[in-house]
Amino acid sequence: MAVVVLIISLILFTYVPKDEFYRAVDYSIRDLSASADNDIVLVYPSLRSEQKTLGFNVSDTENSYQMNYYWHFDGNSQSYRASVPKDMYEYYRGRPHGHDNYQEYALSDYDREVVRNFAKAFQDHGNRYNYSDEQVALNIISFVNTLPYTYDSDSTGFDDYPRYPVETLVEGGDCEDRAILVAALLYELNQKTILIRLVTHVAIGLEDNGNYTGQFYESDGVRYYYVGVAADESEVGIIPPEINPQLLRIHPVIKIPSLHADIYRSGIGLNSSGNYNYTLQGTVTNEGPGPLKNASLRIVTSEIGYNKNTSDLPDVIVPLGDLPEDSDTEMKVVVPVPRSSGLVTIYIEGDDFEPFNSGGFYFNFAK
């Protein structure tokens, strides 16, 4: 997707000497001809007398929303043209919005291509004009800060309605929506951030790299400097006096899939060795963000009390395979248990997350 940025002259209709005019035109042609698909092109100096209004406009086509964004950064007027498929937008509009795990909104899997294209445009532009990582991040924040600020109660009828990135790109949003979008973009650029949830505000924390000063919050021993995402916030490390700096929660922007296992005992019977079999079945759901790779259930039987059976029962492994975000899989397995008392514990394991205990149950077949 081609991205074009125009630097608009702040002094309109001024006299431009002939030599300067031809130099400017030649510079513009060379820059435009050298641009790549995802690059942002600066045309400087601009000889146009039109100043675009900051913000964005949306046109509704049959299959997509076409957006044109306009913002300022580093003294330049910039613009970006993008598209969001309607089916993707409607998918996210239909998802639950009630939970406050903001990192899950930022790192959802199905809109990664759209988010990645945005992030790549900013990174390509930064590479071309020798921007530091900090400048790329601040350019992204400047872009997001000019999106329409819409209150949840006015736009959705809900008091609290965190938006997914594609929703904010199409309709704007409030502070947590903007912060979620910034976090999603910076995640794609491998810039470590946190979402800072204050009493009445949500902001971004940029990882300390020695170039920031001011107010910060710590997460896992690392400093993250505050940067606001409201239209009147632009300074790193400065919390406006009208905002209460009391911290409620820090959301690390890392992928930790939220899993839910609804497993129950559907039957019981004797086996050939004289012990008992439980039939377990149910559903394992990946609520995101991101897919699960090579997931499995590990079912562990352990005896307790004074009637322990001397035989060792091996763990039962139930392969689940790869689980995309917002998907589930059915499972059914027979688990042997001894003629004693004990616990059956169910663990969920996988290649891209730490194993965790998903529950279990107590049994007692002691004579």
DSSP letters along 63-128, please?
SEEEEEEEEEETTEEEEEEEEEEHHHHHHHHTS------HHHHHT-STTHHHHHHHHHHHHHHHHH
Reported as half-sphere exposure (CB side, CA atoms, 13 A), residue 156 has a value of 19
The residue length of the chain stands at 367
Is 182 in contact with 193 (CB distance < 8 Å)?
A: yes
| Degrees to nearest 5, angle at CA 298 with 331 and 342 | 105
3-state SS assignment for residue 158: coil
Residue 109 identity (one-letter amino acid): D
Residue 39 burial class via C-beta count within 10 angstroms: exposed 0-12, middle 13-18, buried 19 and up: buried
Is 238 in contact with 215 (CB distance < 8 Å)?
A: yes
DSSP 62: S
Taking the C-alpha atoms of residue 180 and residue 202, their distance in angstroms, rounded to an integer, is 9
Is 136 in contact with 216 (CB distance < 8 Å)?
A: no
- E strands along the chain, which residues? 3-6, 40-43, 55-60, 64-73, 76-85, 193-198, 202-207, 216-219, 222-227, 247-252, 259-270, 276-286, 292-304, 316-323, 327-337, 341-350, 353-364
Is 55 in contact with 68 (CB distance < 8 Å)?
A: no
User: What pLDDT, on a 0 to 100 scale, did the predictor assign at position 152?
Assistant: 62
CA distances to 21, 160, 230, 260, 287 from 166, in Å: 41, 18, 18, 26, 18
| Cβ atoms < 10 Å from Cβ of 65 | 19
How far, in whole angstroms, is CA 322 from its chain's centroid? 20
User: What pLDDT, on a 0 to 100 scale, did the predictor assign at position 312?
Assistant: 64
Taking the C-alpha atoms of residue 24 and residue 14, their distance in angstroms, rounded to an integer, is 14
Q: C-alpha dihedral over 123, 127, 129, 131, to 10 degrees?
A: 70
The CATH fold of domain 259-364: Immunoglobulin-like (2.60.40)
Is 40 in contact with 3 (CB distance < 8 Å)?
A: yes
Q: Is the peptide bond preceding residue 148 cis, with omega within 30 degrees of 0? A: no
Which stretches of the chain score pLDDT less than 70?
1-54, 152-159, 231, 234, 257, 305-312, 367
Taking the C-alpha atoms of residue 160 and residue 162, their distance in angstroms, rounded to an integer, is 6
CA distances to 45, 65, 82, 168, 227 from 4, in Å: 14, 18, 11, 21, 26
User: What pLDDT, on a 0 to 100 scale, did the predictor assign at position 311?
Assistant: 56
pTM value is 0.69
Is 163 in contact with 186 (CB distance < 8 Å)?
A: no
Taking the C-alpha atoms of residue 31 and residue 43, their distance in angstroms, rounded to an integer, is 7
Reported as half-sphere exposure (CB side, CA atoms, 13 A), residue 238 has a value of 8
Is 148 in contact with 70 (CB distance < 8 Å)?
A: no
Residue 70 burial class via C-beta count within 10 angstroms: exposed 0-12, middle 13-18, buried 19 and up: buried
For 178, the enclosing helix (H) or strand (E) is: helix 175-188
Domain with CATH 2.60.40.10 in the chain: 259-364
DSSP 256: -
